Amino acid sequence: MTAVQQSPPAGPPAPATQAPPARRGSAGRLRHAPEKPPAGIARLLPRTVAARVRALTALSLVLLVVLLGIGWAAVANAREGVRVIGHDAGPQVVATGDLYFQLSDMDAQLANALLIGDAPGGGRDQAVARYDDNRRKAGDALLKAAKLADETTENNTARDLLDALGRYERLAGQALLLDRQSPHPSGPPSQQVTELYRQAADLMKLDLLPKAYNLTLDNGTLVRHTYEDRRSAVLMGRTGVLVAGVALLATLAGFQLYLAKRFRRLLNVPLALATIGTLVLVGAGTLMLSGQAGHLRKAKEEGFDSILALSRTRAISNSANADETRFLLDPGRADAYEQVYLSKSQTVLYLKAGNLTQYNAAVQKDLSFEPGRAPFLGFLGTEANRPAESAEQKAQLVNVMNGVLRDYRKVQANDRRMRDLVKGGQRDQAVAARGAAGADFTRYDRSLQALIGIHRKAFDDAVRDGDGGTSGWYAVLPAAGAAIALLVLAGVRPRLAEYRWSK
């Protein structure tokens, strides 16, 4: 368009013969062009060949800088996303998720210690040692959770947790001391001890565990927000790179055409190289950013979400296991503990059932599933329905999940047997059967950990890919930018020189 406007009516003359080269302002006066002086926006357009060449050069360089800037920001967002999810808040949230497990295991071990009593084998000492170990780990996790807390309500929750943990410790200490003062064989301890344990268990169930759980949910929110913000920033950056890249490519192509027309040359090689360089840079950049968005998604959805959900499953299963101990420990509350066991079991794997007997039976029916169509809900239902990327991964997940289900059924079968024994008046045998059932529960817990392991690997892989995918781009961007800029200048310089000579 602009070329036509500038050309004398006779047609385009060879550039070398064009009268006095291009000095801004003088052209109009010298050439007495028949057309009216351009009005409006057209006035802003350069009106000599050299000025246009300079303008196109400037435009190319500006677009290049814009492209590099957008690319740089998108890389920064991708790296920050991977850093927070993969190395900072993500792992810490998983650690605070273990807080729930450690707290509920403290209570489980306290129940064990009180139930075992002075039975030979040192069972009580082992239980107390595990209790102490859990308490130490819970302290660590609580500290991490408090550090992550970035809002007043979360800080208050962390503080309340610390306070409640102190009260729990006091009750637990009293119960253990009192229990030692009145030796008894395996089975329910004295009424006074049971009363203290009830207070401790209520504090754990109604105060500590809900707060620990909610704190992990709050911290999970933090990770989710980072993920969504960074991922959409990366995707927007990708769009930005594409738009700026296409604009730069169009400019370079137009520049090439213009030069070919004005200067009667077939191809400006440096400019062509700059165009190809840009094309490669934009293509590679877009691919890299798509990849980063994918790594972020994989780390969050295939790794983090499942790890967190399964660590909750582990914790809830463990505390349900402790409810079986409590059922034996405190016959006065047996109904309530049975009900709580049912509701925790249904949280883990939901099948419709009105009471525990129905549930125990329902679990023994066919639980085989196709991912996406699991015949059960609850945490395990959600995990069974998670989409897997590759067929291989899918097969692996189904395989491990089937192991979890198999072991879970065993745990529920043991539960039924234990309760039937109690209902049949054989409480001692039921207490004795807890030992063997413990091994089955441990196997179930290991299967859950194996499932967590698969997701942890997906998480680690995605984080490693995320780290690797952007490494070097902080060097690539300036280097490629400098190369393209130099090529453009190299392509333009001889053309502009022609004007200087003819002057």
**Residues lying near another protein in the complex (CB under 8 A):** 151, 153, 156-157, 160, 206-207, 209-211, 213-214, 217-218, 220-221, 224, 232, 305, 335-336, 339-340, 343, 346, 350, 352, 354-355, 358, 362, 365, 372-375, 377-378, 381, 385
> Cβ neighbours of residue 344 under 8 Å, at least 6 residues apart?
316, 317, 319, 320, 323
Cβ-based neighbour number of residue 292 at 10 Å: 28
Nearest approach, Cβ of residue 421 and another protein (Å): 19
Q: 88 near 304, Cβ under 8 Å?
A: no
Q: Which is nearer to another protein, 47 or 298 (CB)?
A: 298
Region of 184 on the Ramachandran plot (φ > 0 left; ψ -120 to 50 alpha; else beta) = beta
- Kind and range of the H or E element at 219? helix 209-263
Grouping H, G, I as helix, E, B as strand and the rest as coil, residue 118 is coil
Q: Which is nearer to another protein, 105 or 440 (CB)?
A: 105
Q: What's 204's DSSP letter?
A: I
* DSSP characters over 332-353: GGHHHHHHHHHHHHHHHSB---
Q: Which is nearer to another protein, 282 or 374 (CB)?
A: 374
Nearest approach, Cβ of residue 383 and another protein (Å): 14
* Residue 139 identity (one-letter amino acid): G
> Cβ neighbours of residue 347 under 8 Å, at least 6 residues apart?
316, 378, 379
Q: Which is nearer to another protein, 324 or 440 (CB)?
A: 324
Q: How far is 113 from 131, CA to CA, in rounded Å?
A: 9
Nearest approach, Cβ of residue 153 and another protein (Å): 5
Q: Which is nearer to another protein, 361 or 482 (CB)?
A: 361
Q: Which is nearer to another protein, 179 or 305 (CB)?
A: 305
Nearest approach, Cβ of residue 342 and another protein (Å): 9
Q: Which is nearer to another protein, 5 or 355 (CB)?
A: 355
Q: What is the dihedral of CA 158, 162, 167, 170, to 10 degrees?
A: 160
Both tokens of residue 220? 């999970």
Query: Nearest-5° angle of CA 78, CA 84, CA 85?
Result: 90
Nearest approach, Cβ of residue 494 and another protein (Å): 48
Nearest approach, Cβ of residue 360 and another protein (Å): 13
Nearest approach, Cβ of residue 437 and another protein (Å): 24
